[in-house]
Amino acid sequence: MQPPLRFHVEFTSPNARIPGERCSKLLKPGTPLFDWIFAARVKLAQAGYRFDARPPHIEVVNSSDKSSANNEDVVRARCGELEMRLIDLRLDRIAGRALIIPTGPVSGYGETHSTIAYFRQGLPDPVFETITKLLS
């Protein structure tokens, strides 16, 4: 068994969020984690999977928590906990209809993740076997 792939979390900047939303910070383009997510999406699309994908990011504020979303200090502190955190790539996690990479907990929010792909019609079956083969 091969050791897991490991990546550091790196954000674009303390201020870069997905345009039009206040809950997530963008991952830095050109970093190994960003590039792996992008390459995984390309492989999924080439294999015929239909999915939605926003720019690679990590949510650090729950959308129902408006006071934290509007507080830059809270967002920066949570991102500071994640910045340069070393994570193991695991393809065994879903969040609703999304295939995700767990990125660990942050104070005041809990477990975080980065989404590889969101499947509107639900996850293809058998998703883990298919995705693991495709992305290995």
Intra-chain end-to-end CA distance of the chain, in Å: 13
Sorted by where each begins, the domain ranges of the chain are 6-135
Residues making up the chain, counted from first to last: 136
Helix, strand or coil, per DSSP, at residue 29: coil
Mean pLDDT across 15-33: 85
Please write the tens of the pLDDT for every residue from 58-113.
Answer: 988 887 776 766 777 888 889 999 999 999 987 766 777 888 899 999 998 999 99
3-state helix, strand, coil in the chain (%, to 5): 30, 25, 45
Tokens 């959308």 sit on residue? 63
